[in-house]
């Protein structure tokens, strides 16, 4: 009987903690158990045990007493150890919203929250724009001409971009813009990126963090009425200057400064700022007509109030203003978009040039963080998605066209590995990007998820392009108009570096910001301490204690069961994956909580640990998005392999990141204990089998439904340029496949560009294939020879690189 009561108590406490039962109900449950023990005359040890448990639970349930005796001294201590936080850190934490990231931090994700999100879709207007102006623009682009000859978009391309209002996708229609959704904006950038990164950057920057978005959210009505219609039609070209030579990632340390002062203009005294700056890496600066500028603000004469140091301010300055210098160009590698320097010395600007007017002086960082919370999720991740799509499209095609050792190179297991990785990454990137765009269009501003998309999709793009380069070999190494990979390969560092370098984003922002924003109690504790609110602190801290205990119980139980029995929104092949995410979410949350408790404010300097937690959170998110995408697509059977590969790779990365945390835990013994609690059976997640990878590779080597979904909405050139020839050859090779295998079987020979005419003649004469089949095979081999060929240049070409084609284009445009 004693054993039964003890077991009942442990099971009851574990069950109540597992399901996060309120404290008062836990207390009543244990008290009821004590009453039963008394009524049946149990052993005194049962009374003692139940009493030892009931007494503290009852005490903690008496909120006023708990608050006075426990929370009050704890509150005083907490306020002394709470680390100091800069104004920029506070504003970053207060920007944006949370969504699925908070569910993953909870240790018990509510899948309804994920499936309540509308499925990604374009409006009819956006679809028409994609099929019309975007298609035309892509047809006009020649990346070799743009990057190696003109070092700019041709004049007729710039004119078309302005005419079709590509620069105003985010500007509302009432101001003359296109008023596209985030989904539409991202789709346009993605498709252009499949043709030319230079053109994509030129289009995406005015539609991202910059004057247009800042004006829409924070501008005065007069500023909106003046600038937005002009920006919409390209009469004004904007740029935004934030980065200084001495302040890159640490924007708060910028030396650029504006001093509040008064100036006599046309006989009138005007209140404004005298601004000096030195900025670099500013996209569109060489052609900008209006300069968005971020600078620190001082008011030494207290013209605006009692404070001298007012913070960062954002202003709009016409580039023709006396003293404004738009300097020389930078040449970003692989993507020669307009980028350069700007500087000014003691340039006077009136207060109505400050974005939002005088009342917004000093609020620039908050404004930038507000816009970045959403904007960072759109453009650069779109380039990652485009890279995945094109790598799938072209590497699959090339691996089918290119023969070595008498078979397509894609049939070798060594090539199957990178092909499977490319397909996996492409599927996962698009899944996360499109669903996050749906969240933005719902009104969310998921600042942590935006950082994840930026960092992890651009890194995934780097991996797929590296794999594509390896498969293409010499074809990708030799530069020239027919090389469709080298520009994108060289341009990869741009997306890796800008809008928060990936090293910084991973090691400091994703988890550093996410731990506070997404955790259900941490931010509440910090806010209550800052506001000296004991009541709020009491609720937060004891909620936090219960949260940790619940996750400890969940981690142990789910570690033993592998998550089986937990909630899953689907009862199909994906069910186990949803349950694995439930299990890993609990382990992640518990591990993070204990690590934060041990390190406290010192955690902000533990960037290696922070980066590993960031990896775990990011891949939990990516796995979730992949599962939702599979469901949205109708759970097609042919996509099961690529879905499984993406999810299993994500889960494996989550587990690996957590094991590295345990190996480097602040208290090594405790790390070992938590690892055993969360992973009692050790490492459980692995990549898919070779057979699955083989099937994914074959899907990229054929005209499969999966390949079509992976490469949807890319630009498919009709012209016979580098990409166009590969796609023509791929189609021709697949069409001629029956004839090829007939000849291999009958004549014991493998057709190639050198012997195809003789083999076809023999095969037709022998009745092995028809004349039409012979013609198809000859065409396939001729196109294959064009694909395999690489560009050559005469010495004169290298001395005079501007081609006749470029001269003619410039003459026509002018």
Q: Tell me the three-class secondary structure of 556-618, residue by residue.
A: HHHHHHCCCCCCCCCCCCCHHHHHHHHHHHHHHHHHHHHHHHHHHHHHHHCHHHHHHHHHHHH
Q: Which of 42-56, 452-466, 610-624 has the lowest mean pLDDT?
A: 42-56
pLDDT at 277 over 60: yes
pLDDT at 615 over 50: yes
What is the C-alpha separation between 512 and 602, in angstroms, rounded? 12
342-345, Cβ contacts within 8 angstroms, sequence gap of 24 or more = 342/239, 342/241, 342/277, 342/279, 342/282, 342/285, 342/291, 343/277, 343/278, 343/279, 344/275, 344/276, 344/277, 345/276
Q: Which of 499, 525, 655, 776 is catalytic?
A: 499
Query: Is the separation of the CB atoms in 595 and 608 below 8 Å?
Result: no
Average pLDDT over residues 528-551: 90
Residue-averaged pLDDT of the chain: 91
| pLDDT for res 92 | 64
| pLDDT for res 771 | 94
Average pLDDT over residues 155-178: 95
Helix axes 379-401, 413-441, angle to 10 degrees: 150
| Backbone angles phi and psi of 681, in degrees to 5 | -100, 10
pLDDT at 814 over 50: no
Other Cβ atoms within 10 Å of 792 Cβ, number: 8
Question: Residue 462 — pLDDT band, cuts 50, 70, 90?
Answer: very high
| pLDDT for res 85 | 62
Q: Which of 80-89, 233-242, 556-565, 691-700 has the lowest mean pLDDT?
A: 80-89
Q: How far is CA 568 from CA 23, 152, 635, in A?
A: 27, 51, 15
Average pLDDT over residues 161-174: 95
Average pLDDT over residues 125-148: 95
pLDDT at 258 over 80: yes
Query: Is the separation of the CB atoms in 579 and 564 below 8 Å?
Result: yes
| pLDDT for res 810 | 46
| pLDDT for res 14 | 80
778 CB-near residues (< 8 Å, 6+ apart): 756, 757, 760
Average pLDDT over residues 191-215: 92
pLDDT at 552 over 90: yes
| pLDDT for res 812 | 47
Nearest to 364 by CA among 227, 504, 209: 209
pLDDT at 686 over 90: yes
Q: Which secondary-structure segment (H or E) carries 264? A: strand 257-265
User: What does the pLDDT look like over 752-786, one tens digit per residue?
Assistant: 999 999 999 999 999 999 999 999 999 999 999 99
Beta bridge partners of 309: 298
Q: Which of 146-155, 438-447, 519-528, 695-704 has the lowest mean pLDDT?
A: 519-528
Question: Residue 804 — pLDDT band, cuts 50, 70, 90?
Answer: very low
Q: What angle do CA 228, 234, 236 make, to 5 degrees?
A: 65
* Reported pTM: 0.93
Give the residue with greater pLDDT, 2 vs 552: 552
DSSP class of 359: G
- Give the chain's length: 814
pLDDT at 137 over 90: yes
| pLDDT for res 344 | 94
| pLDDT for res 512 | 85
Question: Residue 83 — pLDDT band, cuts 50, 70, 90?
Answer: low
* Separation of CA 661 from chain center: 23
- Percent of residues, the chain, with pLDDT higher than 70: 96
pLDDT at 808 over 80: no
Q: How far is CA 330 from CA 148, 217, 248, 349, 502, in A?
A: 14, 30, 16, 27, 21
pLDDT at 287 over 90: yes
Query: Is the separation of the CB atoms in 565 and 603 below 8 Å?
Result: no
Question: Residue 32 — pLDDT band, cuts 50, 70, 90?
Answer: confident
| pLDDT for res 809 | 45
Average pLDDT over residues 323-338: 91
Helix axes 534-561, 575-599, angle to 10 degrees: 130
What is the C-alpha separation between 72 and 794, in angstroms, rounded? 82
| pLDDT for res 249 | 67
| pLDDT for res 404 | 94
Query: Is the separation of the CB atoms in 81 and 529 below 8 Å?
Result: no
| pLDDT for res 89 | 64
Could you confirm whether 499 is annotated as catalytic?
Answer: yes
Q: Which of 37-46, 97-106, 576-585 has the lowest mean pLDDT?
A: 37-46
In the chain the first and final C-alpha atoms are separated, in Å, by 97
| pLDDT for res 800 | 65
Average pLDDT over residues 660-666: 96
Strand 309-318 with 407-408, pairing: unpaired
Query: Is the separation of the CB atoms in 93 and 151 below 8 Å?
Result: no
Other Cβ atoms within 10 Å of 540 Cβ, number: 23
Residue with tokens 């992976």: 710
Question: Residue 96 — pLDDT band, cuts 50, 70, 90?
Answer: confident
pLDDT at 445 over 80: yes
DSSP class of 802: -
| pLDDT for res 87 | 65
């Amino acid at each position: 009987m004693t054993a039964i009561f003890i077991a009942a108590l442990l099971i009851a406490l574990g069950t109540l903690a597992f399901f996060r039962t309120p404290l008062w109900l836990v207390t009543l449950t244990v008290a009821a158990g004590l009453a039963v023990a008394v009524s049946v005359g149990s052993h005194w040890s049962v009374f003692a045990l139940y009493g030892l448990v009931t007494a503290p639970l009852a005490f903690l349930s008496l909120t006023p007493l708990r608050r006075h005796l426990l929370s009050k001294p704890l509150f005083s201590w907490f306020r002394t150890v709470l680390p100091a936080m800069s104004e920029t850190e506070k504003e970053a934490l207060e920007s944006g919203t949370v969504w699925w990231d908070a569910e993953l931090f909870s240790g018990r994700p509510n899948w309804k929250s994920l499936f309540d999100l509308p499925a990604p879709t374009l409006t009819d207007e956006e679809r028409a724009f994609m099929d019309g102006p975007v298609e035309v623009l892509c047809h006009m682009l020649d990346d070799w001409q743009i990057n190696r000859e003109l070092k700019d978009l041709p004049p007729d391309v710039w004119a078309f971009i302005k005419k079709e209002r590509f620069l105003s996708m985010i500007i509302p229609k009432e101001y003359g813009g296109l008023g596209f959704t985030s989904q539409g904006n991202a789709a346009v950038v993605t498709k252009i990126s499949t043709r030319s990164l230079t053109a994509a950057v030129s289009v995406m920057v005015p539609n991202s963090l910059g004057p247009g978005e800042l004006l829409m959210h924070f501008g005065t009505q007069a500023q909106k009425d003046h600038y937005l219609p002009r920006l919409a039609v390209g009469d004004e070209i904007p740029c935004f200057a934030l980065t200084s030579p001495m302040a890159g990632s640490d924007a708060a340390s910028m030396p650029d400064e504006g001093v509040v002062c008064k100036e006599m203009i046309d006989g009138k005294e005007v209140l404004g700022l005298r601004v000096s700056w030195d900025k670099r890496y500013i996209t569109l600066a060489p052609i900008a007509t209006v300069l968005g500028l971020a600078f620190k603000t001082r008011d030494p004469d207290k013209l605006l109030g009692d404070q001298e140091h007012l913070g960062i301010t954002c202003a709009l300055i016409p580039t023709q203003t006396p003293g404004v210098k738009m300097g020389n160009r930078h040449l970003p590698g692989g993507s020669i978009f307009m980028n350069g320097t700007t500087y000014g010395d003691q340039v006077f600007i009136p207060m109505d040039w400050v974005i939002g007017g005088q009342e917004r002086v000093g609020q620039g960082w908050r404004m930038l963080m507000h816009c970045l919370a959403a904007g960072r999720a759109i453009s650069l991740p779109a380039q990652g998605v485009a890279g995945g799509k094109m790598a799938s499209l072209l590497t699959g095609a090339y691996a089918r066209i290119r023969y070595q050792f008498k078979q397509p190179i894609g049939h070798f297991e060594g090539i199957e590995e990178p092909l499977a990785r490319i397909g996996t990454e492409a599927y996962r990137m698009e899944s996360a990007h499109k669903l996050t765009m749906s969240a933005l269009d719902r009104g969310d501003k998921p600042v942590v998820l935006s950082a994840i998309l930026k960092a992890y999709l651009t890194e995934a793009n780097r991996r797929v392009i590296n794999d594509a380069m390896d498969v293409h070999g010499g074809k990708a190494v030799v530069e020239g108009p027919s090389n469709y990979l080298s520009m994108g390969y060289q341009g990869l560092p741009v997306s890796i570096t800008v809008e928060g370098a990936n090293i910084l984003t991973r090691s400091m922002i994703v988890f550093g910001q996410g731990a506070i924003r997404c955790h259900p109690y941490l931010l509440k504790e910090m806010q209550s301490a800052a506001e000296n609110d004991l009541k709020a602190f009491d609720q937060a801290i004891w909620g936090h204690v219960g949260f940790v205990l619940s996750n400890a119980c969940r981690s142990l139980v789910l570690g033993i069961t592998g998550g089986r029995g937990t909630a899953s929104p689907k009862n199909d092949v994906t069910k186990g994956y949803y349950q694995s995410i439930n299990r890993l979410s609990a382990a992640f949350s518990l591990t993070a909580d204990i690590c934060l408790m041990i390190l406290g404010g010192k955690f902000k300097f533990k960037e290696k640990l922070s980066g590993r937690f960031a990896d775990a959170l990011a891949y939990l998110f990516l796995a979730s998005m992949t599962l939702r995408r599979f469901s949205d697509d109708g759970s097609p059977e042919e996509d099961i392999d690529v879905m499984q590969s993406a999810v299993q790779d994500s889960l494996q990365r989550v587990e690996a990141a957590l094991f590295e945390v345990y190996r480097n835990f602040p208290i090594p013994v405790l790390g070992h204990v938590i690892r055993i609690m969360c992973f009692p059976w050790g490492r459980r997640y692995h990549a898919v089998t070779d057979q699955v990878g083989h099937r994914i590779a074959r899907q990229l080597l054929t005209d499969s439904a999966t390949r079509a979904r992976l490469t949807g909405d890319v630009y498919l050139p009709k012209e016979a340029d580098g990409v166009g020839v590969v796609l023509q050859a791929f189609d021709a090779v697949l069409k001629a496949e029956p004839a090829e295998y007939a000849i291999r079987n009958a004549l014991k020979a493998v057709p190639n560009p050198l012997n195809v005419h003789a083999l076809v003649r023999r095969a037709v004469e022998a009745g092995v294939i028809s004349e039409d089949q012979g013609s198809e095979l000859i065409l396939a081999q001729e196109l294959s020879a064009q694909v395999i060929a690489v560009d050559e240049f005469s010495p004169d070409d290298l001395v005079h690189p501007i081609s006749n084609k470029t001269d003619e284009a410039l003459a026509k445009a002018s």
